[in-house]
Chain A
């Protein structure tokens, strides 16, 4: 068994610590060839090298000392870190709506362990109340941790359980559901939940944070407060994503689960509705709807839960010079469906036509979406498009590639019939395909243009 007192230390660093009979949490004075250092020995990160010993100085700083340079270590005592997160009882008020918060991973609120840097998530109602007391203004809160995974590790198993859990909560009579989720694949989960949980009577709000909750500038608490507000007081009974509108602390936007996409790797305002406008703005004062074509909150407990899911579906991001063997390999491996993200209006190159034809002939369902994200697949405009359709590729209108992927998984989980698959895919459930793209559905401003600069000067974005 690995000696816990040398946690994370390997090889030379481990040898040095053993030689001087010290370990993690020893309060030590280290004599090294390049100076003397006094501090507390910390556990070593598993991914860090084996050549250094890390200590925390009295000032709170950490430093690393090369194990090879250490000539002596004197132990003055031991101070083990004990983690505890303060809990305060979450107040209940019979007049307030009951909200269930599901945790899937990521941290909404957390306490950081200063000695190791480990993030300890706050998740129980008591812990959350301790760090975000504003939550109690809007609701009575129940929390349930379903998983502790990074969002990139969410998959069919998690989607299905989440959908079933939502169904149970609705049946129990809660007034709204909030789902804490990592941001990377939040829009994938939002899309699949929209298909799996149809016609819910209450808001189902997904929320996360772009800046971790252990920092004072985090968007986590503000997003959570607003998401809870939407779940408790809002009138929109759909699967929603609630994230920062601008990078400034002003309001969050409510995005429909099928039209939202993470559009920046790190900005607070990364989530955007694509090819349409968001449903509402929400700030600490209230919810301001931006359109009225949404499903209203209802008192009944009706909901359709359909957790069908076919895992053998893939997405191909087309690039010039793509070779047919890629498509053949996918078919050979037994995939049942392919979503292509094509160029422009939905195109791929001639050399792979034959491979696509072989795929559709074998009964593989192939749908076309656009890499441009904004705009419709329009395969009649150019001859290329018409040729591709003749291969059996079905244009998926203005469905976002990731949404089309999730929908094809869900559809193929229900049927393999060519016409039925096509019918389900092209019948919108919640605006994954829209009839029209509004004139203000595509706004990517370019900096340095005088009028844009004027806008940025006057509007806090």
Chain B
């Protein structure tokens, strides 16, 4: 196999050559006051808790009377699942001790609105489904979810990206820890309404993935009805290459992390296909694969390698799996800084619950851990040949038995190609095994709630108030020459509708309006003020005063600032922003008054040395504008200053005054 190019060197053509296809599942929490299926408050997080309960998940029979692969896997892990409950955020519904209440109608409204923006076909009747999750992340063992719309698209570059569906669902628990056979969850996030937007596999490179993800995120935000902040939007990234399989990378919170993760996954699939082909060349297929398990504890009683020696001291077992004909392959790179052996270590960690790392040692990195003498002993006991790879695991008898079974299972999968995994995203851009990818069999109808009809009047109402999609706004803003850095945030801002009104109805200069609403307001927030509390009407009247020439641009900003300051310090009294604007604009300055202010200012600056007249002008205008700037434009003041200082120069003026 040709070495895989580095992330930076990969081109669109390179990705086309390996047949990369990507899709997204964007999860976005909705900004509701309550949870989806109960009346607990949404969006309240706390790491402390009042009580804990313990549960186990048991796989249920699938359609053909068999267990789903994921379900079986979770059963093998024999996990004790501990839920931490905080009295303010959890009720008996959350812990699966009560049937659901009817879903929050406001959450459904938001989902309908987003479905319309994605031009999806909207269902007429909502059917709640149960989607099984056996990892314990939802105490019921399933997530309640429902389709709101199917088959739509969004524009991207010169083409359209297909949207498979939009569903509404309840969020899962936050994991605290997962050590050995005990997994701990916090239940505060559980039940928060979120939507899942699933795209078709229409993206062809990691960069396209991130860009399309961004488009969807801005679209969601443009409604002003979704949660923001870390974890409020998370995406699952689906990646496949030619000959590989669809792999799902779960829960990536930041879009910037997507490209490297997708790159690594593409590389991993290519590597696994290469390993399969190599094995085939060596005559090893699913049917000819020969693996065996041996207890080698006695051969390693005196090993200097600490993890194994400690295990032996505790009375644990050391077991060895021989993989016939695998020699050398365990070191094959699969992702950046990652080798094939990690595929085995991951399975042992997740399924056999041997979570303390390192949890395996293998014969392809012989020298680093075990001594030559140790390996000799192991090889003798297992009667392994030079072409065989050996993997050692240690721990209690049950866990090591599971571990050896998993190693053999993973080796079998290596002869087939890329196993269908759900993978977790690591910080370094690589992924690790999380669980077996579940199938459509894990969906089944919720018998606790009846189907719910969506009233056409409701659709009409939502459609009439629909926000213009962010991509359409962005197109318009570009034409209006809005500063580049403000285009996307403004298009997704809840102020976008107001912005349209300002420039369409009041004819405010678009750039000025954008700078105030985006940059100025951001500045106010940094000062500790709360511009988000200003209503659209309040903002409108201030701009209106501006277009009536009652306030200059400076006057607009000053009105907002004074109002925000006053509001911050007068909690009880509502302050009318109109009065603030009126106060500022009430004071008018005749030309004579302005000249007199300029003269006074010059008098005050008499003793100061300026390098040149330009500096003097700037200084004077700064002081004068502080007084008159709200109602007099700076260019007027400047020309007056120039006139006053004018042909005389500073000295003459000073003398005159003297």
Binding site for B on A (CB under 8 A): 32, 34-37, 47-49, 51-52, 54, 57-66, 69, 84-87, 110-117, 119, 122, 130-131, 210-218, 221-222, 246-250, 264, 266-268, 447-448, 453, 456-457, 460-461
Contacts and interface: CB of A to CB of B under 8 A. Distances in A.
Nearest to B139: A217
B447 A64 contact: no
A119 B61 CA distance: 11
- Most chain B CB within a 10 A radius of its CB, from A52, A216, A267: A216
A249 B147 contact: no
Contacts of A216: 57-60, 71, 132-134, 140-142
B269 interface: no
Given A34-B121, A52-B125, A64-B127, A57 B150 contact: yes
28 contacts: A34-B459, A37-B123, A57-B147, A59-B165, A61-B167, A63-B123, A63-B126, A64-B126, A64-B453, A66-B124, A86-B64, A87-B65, A114-B443, A117-B444, A122-B61, A213-B60, A215-B130, A216-B71, A216-B140, A216-B141, A217-B140, A249-B55, A266-B92, A267-B97, A447-B87, A448-B87, A457-B50, A460-B53
Interface string B44-69: 00000111111111111111111000
A86 B165 contact: no
Given A86-B61, A214-B444, A266-B92, A61 B450 contact: no
Contact of A61 (B59, B61, B62, B129): B129
B97 A48 contact: no
- Most chain B CB within a 10 A radius of its CB, from A122, A131, A264: A131
- Most chain A CB within a 10 A radius of its CB, from B92, B97, B141, B149: B97
Contacts of B553: none
Given A217-B140, A456-B50, A60 B453 contact: no
B589 to A, nearest CB: 61
B576 interface: no
Contacts of B82: 460
A60 B130 CA distance: 10
Given A59-B440, A111-B61, A54 B51 contact: no
A247 B87 CA distance: 16
A60 B441 contact: yes
B17 to A, nearest CB: 30
Contacts of A266: 92, 97-99
A32 B56 CA distance: 44
A187 B149 CA distance: 46
B116 to A, nearest CB: 10
B150 A37 contact: yes
Interface in B133-155: 133-134, 139-142, 145-147, 149-151
A215 B451 contact: no
B238 to A, nearest CB: 13
B95 interface: yes
A34 B139 CA distance: 36
A304 to B, nearest CB: 39
B150 A35 contact: yes
Contacts of B167: 61
- Most chain B CB within a 10 A radius of its CB, from A57, A62, A64: A62
B151 A215 contact: no
Nearest to A69: B124
B24 interface: no
Contact of B52 (A37, A66, A460): A460
B51 A457 contact: yes
Contacts of A113: 63
A178 B179 CA distance: 38
A215 to B, nearest CB: 5
A267 B58 contact: no
B147 A63 contact: yes
A35 B444 contact: no
A61 B146 contact: yes
Contact of B453 (A34, A49, A87, A215): A49
Given A37-B150, A111-B60, A215-B140, A249 B124 contact: no
Contacts of B126: 63-64
Contacts of A57: 147, 150, 165
Contacts of B451: 48, 52, 54, 64
A60 B65 contact: no
B58 A64 contact: no
Interface string B20-50: 0000000000000000000000000000011
A63 B87 contact: no
Given A54-B451, A65-B123, A130-B65, 14 more contacts: A34-B121, A57-B147, A58-B440, A64-B123, A64-B127, A86-B64, A86-B66, A111-B60, A116-B445, A216-B141, A217-B139, A218-B141, A246-B53, A249-B55
